[in-house]
Amino acid sequence: MKRKQVSQINPNAERIAKLDDYELPAEFPLDPRKMKPNPFAGRVHLTRGGARPGAGRNRAPEPLERHTITFFKSHVDYLRRVDTNLSRAIRKVLAAKVR
């Protein structure tokens, strides 16, 4: 006689009498008077996660606006010598001229 397969996860599992899924109650009643406080509550100090002080991108002193500017190649070469990032180079040149 063939044994009936009870579990799709473990086909070799044996059936335990009176522990079928249909026999389990839908809800277990809990009695608050029998409950005990958690002895480990408040002891755990999580060391991972959360923002580190000073982490993240620094905010700009004022909001940036997007504009399109056209330069001669000689101007771009000059700005590249100031800084490889053209936006930063333009800001450095303007900051030096404003002072």
In a domain, 21, yes or no: no
Range of the domain at 80: 68-99
Give a yes or no: residue 38 inside a domain.
no
User: Domain for residue 86, yes or no?
Assistant: yes
Measured between alpha carbons, how far is residue 68 from residues 65, 71, 87, 97, 98 in Å? 10, 10, 11, 20, 21
Inside any domain, residue 76: yes
Average pLDDT over residues 59-70: 88
Does residue 48 lie in a domain region?
Answer: no
| 8 A C-beta contact, residue 5 and residue 11 | yes
Q: pLDDT at position 79, please? A: 95
**95 within domain boundaries:** yes
Helix axes 73-82, 86-98, angle to 10 degrees: 80
Tokens of 24: 């389990």
Taking only the tens place, the pLDDT of each residue in 6-60 is 566 777 777 666 665 566 667 888 899 999 998 888 887 777 777 778 888 888 8
**Distance between CA atoms of residues 56 and 12, nearest Å:** 54
Distance CA 45, CA 62 (A): 39
pLDDT score of 93: 93
Tell me the pTM: 0.40
Query: What's the structural domain count of the chain?
Result: 1
Asked whether residue 8 is domain-assigned, the answer is no
